Copies of this chain bind each other. A is one copy, B any other.
Amino acid sequence: MAPEQRKLVTIVTESVIEIDLCEALTDLGASGYTVTNARGSGSRGIRNAGWSSNSNIRIEVVCDEPVATRIAEHLREHYYADFAMILFESDVRVLRPDKF
């Protein structure tokens, strides 16, 4: 099995939307996702995870290009205006391409 190219989409955003967002990712065609707790700072100020209203999550999705594009579109439409959020994408090689 040769490694194959996929996209890694990383999202950092408010933890309050974790459930909604993860549901949306699955609906948009992602085969899975990984979430870690995070804190940080950005254009919407410092979010230092002292308590739940003020904590971030960091979500990673390995997927193919069309799904990555759909995710970016969806977030831009539904979340970008109102939520602390960043999104970036990079190229990765995966081992079991059938999984993603």
Contacts and interface: CB of A to CB of B under 8 A. Distances in A.
State the oligomeric state as a number of copies: 3
Interface in A38-90: 38-43, 56, 58, 60, 62, 72, 75-76, 80, 86-90
Interface in A9-38: 10, 12, 22, 26, 31-38
Contacts of A10: 92
Interface size class of chain A, counting residues whose CB lies under 8 Å from the partner chain? 35 or more
Majority-rule SS of A interface residues: strand
Nearest to A43: B99
A37 B23 CA distance: 21
A36 B8 contact: no
A41 B33 contact: yes
B90 A94 contact: no
A11 to B, nearest CB: 10
Given A86-B62, A87-B94, A89-B92, A32 B39 contact: no
